[in-house]
């Protein structure tokens, strides 16, 4: 599994922004006001991923309490981070398309309310994407120590065995 690239997330966001703009353009009059519920959900997910990443880093480096994480758990967290970064790009792109469409009508009450909700959703999606990329980076295996940093072998054992 390769690390998520920022340009991939930007491409997903751009495609979703175009699709969102087209959808809003076709149906803005019949759409209900944008809900605010996605903003706290995205921010809570970002906070949870950041906390998991900090705990995982501490446990992988031996600084935290508890035993080192299981490799399969780390792989699952990496997959979760990849999925949530793409989901953040999708939500952010759709919100960006909405903001672009209503940018011309900010002098009216309902489009202004929707623009604020969409811009806040976009900001929350960017925060979630950053937290997901941080978690994915924390899932990388630490570099093994160099031979110079290893302690000397105990007496009575040949040098090649540790």
Query: Could you read off the pLDDT of 32-56 as tens digits, one per residue?
Result: 888 899 999 999 999 999 999 999 9
Query: Mind listing the pLDDT tens digit for each residue in 75-116?
Result: 999 999 999 999 999 999 999 999 999 988 888 888 899 999
Structure tokens at 66: 């508890």
Q: How far apart are CA 60 and CA 100, in angstroms?
A: 43
pTM for the model stands at 0.83
Nearest to 139 by CA among 90, 85, 65, 92: 85
- Quote the pLDDT of residue 159: 56
- Quote the pLDDT of residue 67: 83
């Amino acid at each position: 599994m390769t690390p998520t690239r920022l340009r991939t997330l930007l491409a997903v966001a751009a495609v979703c922004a175009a699709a969102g703009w087209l959808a809003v353009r076709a149906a803005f009059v019949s759409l209900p006001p944008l809900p605010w519920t996605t903003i706290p959900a995205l921010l809570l997910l970002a906070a949870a991923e950041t906390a998991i990443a900090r705990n995982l880093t501490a446990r992988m480096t031996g600084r935290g309490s508890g035993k080192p994480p299981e490799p399969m758990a780390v792989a699952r967290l990496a997959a979760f981070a990849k999925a949530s970064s793409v989901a953040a790009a999708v939500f952010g792109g759709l919100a960006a398309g909405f903001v672009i469409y209503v940018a011309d009508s900010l002098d009216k009450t309902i489009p202004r309310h929707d623009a604020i909700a969409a811009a806040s959703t976009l900001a929350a999606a960017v925060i979630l994407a950053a937290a997901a990329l941080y978690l994915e980076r924390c899932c990388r295996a630490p570099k093994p120590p160099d031979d110079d940093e290893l302690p000397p072998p105990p007496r009575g054992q040949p040098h090649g065995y540790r």
